[in-house]
Amino acid sequence: MERLKPKTIAMVLAGGRVDELNVLTRYRPKSAVPFGGFARVIDFPLSNLMSSGIERVAILAQYRSFSLINHIGSGASWDMVGRNRGVSILPPSKGYGPNAWYRGSADAVYQNLDFVALHQPREVLVLSGDHVYQMDYRPLIAYHRAKEADLTIACLRVPITEAHRFGVAEVGEEDGETGGRVLRYKEKPARPRFCWASMTIFCFRPEVLAEVLAVNAAEDDSFEFGRDIIPRLLHERKRIYGYKFYGYWGYTRTLEEYWQTSMDLLGPAPRLKIEEWGIRTNLEHRHIRDCQPLRVGSGAFIQNSLVYNGCVVEGRVENSILFPGVRVEKGAVVKDSVIFFQTRIGRNSRLEKVVSDVNNVIGAGARIGEEAPPGGKEVTVLGWSNIIPEDAVIGSDCTIYPALKPEKIGKRIRTGEIVR
């Protein structure tokens, strides 16, 4: 299949914050949230682009973008450095013309149409930067070209009971399992009647994209692709097609979804096979490449877990993911949890169904995720740079905001409480 870098550019929507991810996105955009023991969420679309030969990429960043900029660097980690390739970080700016804070996903692309005009592509691929999946975009683009489409939407079938959470399309059957004409589209309908969910992967004809974004900016009060752009193009009877995707797609909008997508990495037959996908990341970020090999103590126990370089395990780790620099001391138990970089878990402590941000210290004898509400445990999340006092007891479904003083956290936090 032909190489696409001279003809296709990508614009990655990577600058938003998702409130449902709680304190994990208090100081970083969702796309920069750590995932899988060594990577960031944005590594998935960037690796997909690299594997698809699409190497002229714009990252549209707005919310607290330092972590994202630091991670992406020059783009060398994804081999996007060279004469005809590169990664451009495009934050909002003020100046001549319609420049301001991005008012939505469509407005973010609209404010950067000069990037599109500069490169004069045959297609513009607009992607979300915060989903976990593996996809070769070349068959999608080939289908877009074959149908002479104005817009092609990558779609995934979801249960009708879950369809209300997504933008969903009715996709015709003229091309069988490959795709078909989009007949109807609804953004998060209260009573969905069709179930091909938009993956927020859009392949546009550039002229159509520029025209519809200009009208949206001039006439509308909302500036989102799903809510505004797709319905407008349908109303104008543009050629819109759905390209059907059948692989794994991790939707990590909420904390529970992030936890579940992480757990999909584990087990004898994991649904999410990150090692096979060949995900690239910036190994200089947080000095991952300089970490010493994993050290496992003589009395340690590790089962069904991903534990990466730089970790020291002297306690028990079950069904969990440990990022580089995590230390589990003797007698400690980590179960059903995701522990970010440089966290220390003290002697005889116990963590169960916890997501811990970076640089935390769990005091000896602490119990986190202790009390199960009716129906089972919910995730407890710890913001970064906290010191959990020794022998503290923290229930499930709790939230600890970042960088609190130990006396603010205290010794007892009941199930469902928020400490800020």
Quote the pLDDT of residue 121.
96
3 against 17, higher pLDDT? 17
Alpha carbon 202 to its chain centroid, in Å, reads 17
Domain boundary among the residues 240, 263, 286 is at 263
Q: What is the pLDDT of residues 85-116, one digit of tens each?
A: 899 998 877 655 555 778 889 999 999 999 99
Is 230 found in the same domain as 331?
no
Residue 27: inside a domain, yes or no? yes
Provide the total of helices (H) and of strands (E) in the chain, helices listed first.
10, 33
Whole-angstrom distance, CA of residue 52 vs CA of residue 31: 20
Structural contact between residues 53 and 278, judged by C-beta atoms closer than 8 angstroms: no
Residue 5 pLDDT > 50: no
Q: Hey, which residues does 187 pair with through a beta bridge?
A: 167
Alpha carbon 235 to its chain centroid, in Å, reads 31
Q: Hey, which residues does 163 pair with through a beta bridge?
A: none
Residue 17 pLDDT > 80: no
Sign of CA pseudo-dihedral 158, 159, 163, 164: negative
Q: Which domain holds residue 328?
A: 294-419
Quote the pLDDT of residue 65.
79
- CB 28: neighbour CB atoms within 10 A? 23
When pLDDT is cut at 50, 70 and 90, the band that residue 297 belongs to is very high
When pLDDT is cut at 50, 70 and 90, the band that residue 344 belongs to is very high
When pLDDT is cut at 50, 70 and 90, the band that residue 6 belongs to is low
Residue 405 pLDDT > 80: yes
Q: What percent of the chain has pLDDT over 70?
A: 94
Specify the pTM: 0.93
| Residues across the chain | 420
In the chain the first and final C-alpha atoms are separated, in Å, by 53
Averaged pLDDT, 293-311: 96
Longest dimension (CA), the chain: 68
Is 326 found in the same domain as 214?
no
Averaged pLDDT, 239-253: 94
The label of the residue with tokens 């970080």 reads 89
Residue 199: inside a domain, yes or no? yes
Quote the pLDDT of residue 61.
86
Whole-angstrom distance, CA of residue 76 vs CA of residue 134: 20
Q: What percent of the chain has pLDDT over 90?
A: 81
Residue 398 pLDDT > 90: yes
Structural contact between residues 77 and 281, judged by C-beta atoms closer than 8 angstroms: yes
Residue 167: inside a domain, yes or no? yes
Quote the pLDDT of residue 253.
83
Residue 2: inside a domain, yes or no? no
Is 254 found in the same domain as 174?
yes
When pLDDT is cut at 50, 70 and 90, the band that residue 1 belongs to is very low
Burial of 112 (0-12, 13-18, 19+ CB in 10 A): buried
Is 359 found in the same domain as 304?
yes
Is 326 found in the same domain as 204?
no
Alpha carbon distances (Å) from 202 to 38, 105, 115, 396: 28, 12, 17, 39
Structural contact between residues 23 and 381, judged by C-beta atoms closer than 8 angstroms: yes
Is 42 found in the same domain as 174?
yes
Write the single-letter amino acid at 396: S
16 against 283, higher pLDDT? 283
CATH of the domain at 200: 3.90.550.10
Is 128 found in the same domain as 48?
yes
Is 223 found in the same domain as 178?
yes
Is 170 found in the same domain as 59?
yes
Averaged pLDDT, 186-211: 97
Structural contact between residues 71 and 341, judged by C-beta atoms closer than 8 angstroms: no
Residue 275: inside a domain, yes or no? no
Residue 337: inside a domain, yes or no? yes
Residues 6+ apart with CB under 8 A from 306: 36, 37, 265, 266, 320, 321, 322
Residue 277: inside a domain, yes or no? no
Whole-angstrom distance, CA of residue 202 vs CA of residue 126: 5
Sign of CA pseudo-dihedral 144, 177, 257, 318: negative
Is 299 found in the same domain as 258?
no
Is 303 found in the same domain as 202?
no
Residues 6+ apart with CB under 8 A from 258: 21, 24, 33, 35, 252, 338, 355
Residue whose C-alpha is closest to residue 66's, from 93, 35, 31, 114: 31
Averaged pLDDT, 333-355: 98
Is 179 found in the same domain as 85?
yes
Q: What is the pLDDT of residues 116-170, one digit of tens each?
A: 999 999 999 999 999 999 999 999 999 999 999 999 999 999 999 999 999 999 9
Residue 363: inside a domain, yes or no? yes
Q: What is the pLDDT of residues 35-90, one digit of tens each?
A: 999 999 999 999 999 999 998 999 998 877 788 889 999 999 999 998 888 999 98
Quote the pLDDT of residue 244.
98
Whole-angstrom distance, CA of residue 374 vs CA of residue 397: 12
Quote the pLDDT of residue 2.
47
Whole-angstrom distance, CA of residue 391 vs CA of residue 311: 23
CATH of the domain at 410: 2.160.10.10
Domain boundary among the residues 215, 245, 263 is at 263
Average pLDDT value for the chain: 92
Quote the pLDDT of residue 377.
77
Q: What is the pLDDT of residues 219-237, one digit of tens each?
A: 999 999 999 999 999 999 9
Q: Count how many domains the chain has.
A: 2
Quote the pLDDT of residue 92.
79
